[in-house]
């Protein structure tokens, strides 16, 4: 029976990866439908670019506030109930946002409700996946992240196609229906990691620091700072890519294809950096990837034609997407499994604050200068900061970890 159970666990952990990738793809795709709908919303309502972009900033603020709470709750109850609640809330938030008749109502509904819902998806899933793997952990987390990276290749083109055939309100309602129809059944595949289930049944928690000690430790503080700076680097360029391309005279569908290429390249980056992380260590791989991200983002300053946009988008997507799964791996290398939801939730909180800066700052830059140049220069400076912060990971002692399955 023990051998058969071990075989089932070995195979089912990849089902967890597939479910996590699907759930993340739809959730992130729904959240990032706003960059695609930005121009249509502005044209139909007369709301400012900054005002609409602020909804995304509010969403990331809500994601920041909710991440640690949802993550800690998933440590207590398991990830399934949390992810299911988030899926229901996400569909409801999108549907309600489509009915908003004022900018403030849209900002609160798309921002606060959708952002809070997204927080229930990312951190609990990442924590769950790290708990199912004691080998190939970087690859597994990267595959889940690659599923999330499918959003620009699937949900973004869907949003662009919908908004060309319907108004933005109807488009958002259809996206809400897709969220409910796909995500709710997928949540049934999500299960608590076996090691945690065994520990809970035996009332024998994994030894290690308390939650308070973990939150005050050097690894957590470095993790939080680096996550914030990393996401602050790429949030503006990601959110404003479509809008920037349109201002350069590129048609909407072609501009969305730039965003989709960024996502496709990001899938490659996630897989490559995941393999490199397993081979050379997540910290070393992260440091090099962050330096590459800082350098590549400057390429957008010179991009004007579709070909140059494609080149920069491919390189930028490869680097920025590749770095994100490594944070979950580093968290698992430094903290007990029993607090993974809270730790990754805290990291997600920091990254969400960083992500919140880009949309509104990019909107302010464009409204003030009719150009996105200073957005990319600022992103480069933040990228150098994230690289310098990540260097501290190389000095941290590694914590011995128990196997993921018991």
Q: How much is the pLDDT for 396?
A: 66
Mean pLDDT by 10 residues, the chain (406 residues): 54 86 90 86 86 84 84 86 94 94 93 91 84 76 77 80 90 95 93 67 58 79 91 87 84 81 81 82 88 91 86 90 81 78 81 79 82 88 92 69 42
Q: How much is the pLDDT for 368?
A: 82
d(CA 286, CA 324): 9
Nearest to 354 by CA among 223, 201, 259: 223
94, exposed or middle or buried, with CB in 10 Å at 0-12, 13-18, 19+? Answer: buried
177's tokens: 């229906």
CB 19 within 8 A of CB 121: no
CB 346 within 8 A of CB 67: yes
CB 325 within 8 A of CB 144: yes
Instruction: Spell 332-361 as b/e; 16+ CB within 10 A means b.
Output: bbbbbbbbbbbbbbbbbbbbbbbbbbbbbb
d(CA 107, CA 259): 23
Map residue 7 onto helix, strand or coil. Answer: helix
What secondary structure does DSSP assign to 323-387, as a single string? HHHHHHHHHHHHS-GGGHHHHHHHHHHHHHHHHHHHHHHHHHHHHHHS--HHHHHHHHHHHHHHH
What secondary structure does DSSP assign to 379-391, as a single string? HHHHHHHHHHHHG
Q: How much is the pLDDT for 215?
A: 77
Q: How much is the pLDDT for 327?
A: 83
Q: How much is the pLDDT for 387?
A: 94
Looking up tokens 């159970």 gives 5
36's tokens: 């695609």
Q: What is the dihedral of CA 78, 80, 82, 85, to 10 degrees?
A: -160
Domains observed in the chain: 9-192+210-395 (1.20.1250.20)
Nearest to 56 by CA among 35, 27, 26: 35
Q: What radius of gyration, in Å, describes the C-alpha atoms of the chain?
A: 20
d(CA 99, CA 87): 19
Q: How much is the pLDDT for 67?
A: 82
Q: How much is the pLDDT for 177?
A: 96
Claim: this prediction has a pTM higher than 0.95:
no
Q: How much is the pLDDT for 361?
A: 82
């Amino acid at each position: 029976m023990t051998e058969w159970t071990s075989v089932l666990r070995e195979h089912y952990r990849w089902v967890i990866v597939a479910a996590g990738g699907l759930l993340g793809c739809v959730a992130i795709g729904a959240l990032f439908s706003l960059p695609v709908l930005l121009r249509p919303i502005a044209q139909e309502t007369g709301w400012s670019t900054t005002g609409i972009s602020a909804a995304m900033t509010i969403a990331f603020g809500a994601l920041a506030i909710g991440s640690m709470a949802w993550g800690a709750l998933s440590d207590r109850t398991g990830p399934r109930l949390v992810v299911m609640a988030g899926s229901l809330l996400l569909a409801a938030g999108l549907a309600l946002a489509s009915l908003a008749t004022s900018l403030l109502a849209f900002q609160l509904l798309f921002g606060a409700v959708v952002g809070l819902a997204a927080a229930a998806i990312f951190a609990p899933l990442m924590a769950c996946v790290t708990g199912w793997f004691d080998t190939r952990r970087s690859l597994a987390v990267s595959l889940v992240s690659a599923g999330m990276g499918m959003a620009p290749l699937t949900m973004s083109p869907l949003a662009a196609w919908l908004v060309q055939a319907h108004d933005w309100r109807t488009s958002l309602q259809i996206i809400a229906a897709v969220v409910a129809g796909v995500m709710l059944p997928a949540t049934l595949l999500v299960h608590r990691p076996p090691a945690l289930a065994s520990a809970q049944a035996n009332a024998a928690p994994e030894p290690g620091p308390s939650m308070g000690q973990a939150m005050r430790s050097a690894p957590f503080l470095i993790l939080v700072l680096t996550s914030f700076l990393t996401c602050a680097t790429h949030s503006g360029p990601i959110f404003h890519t479509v809008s920037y391309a349109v201002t350069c005279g590129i048609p909407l569908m072609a501009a969305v294809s730039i965003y989709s290429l960024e996502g496709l390249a990001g899938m490659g980056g996630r897989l490559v950096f995941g393999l490199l992380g397993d081979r050379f260590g997540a910290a070393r791989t992260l440091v090099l990837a962050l330096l590459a991200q800082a350098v590549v983002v400057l390429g957008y300053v010179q991009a004007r034609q579709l070909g140059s946009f494609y080149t920069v988008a491919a390189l930028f997507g490869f680097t920025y997407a590749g770095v994100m799964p490594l944070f979950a791996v580093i968290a698992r290398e430094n903290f007990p499994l029993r607090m993974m939801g809270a730790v990754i939730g805290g990291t997600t909180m920091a990254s969400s604050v960083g992500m919140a800066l880009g949309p509104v700052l990019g909107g302010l830059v464009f409204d003030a200068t009719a150009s996105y140049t200073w957005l990319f220069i600022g992103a480069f400076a933040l990228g150098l900061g994230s690289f310098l912060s990540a260097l501290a990971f190389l000095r941290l002692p590694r914590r011995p970890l128990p196997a993921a399955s018991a």
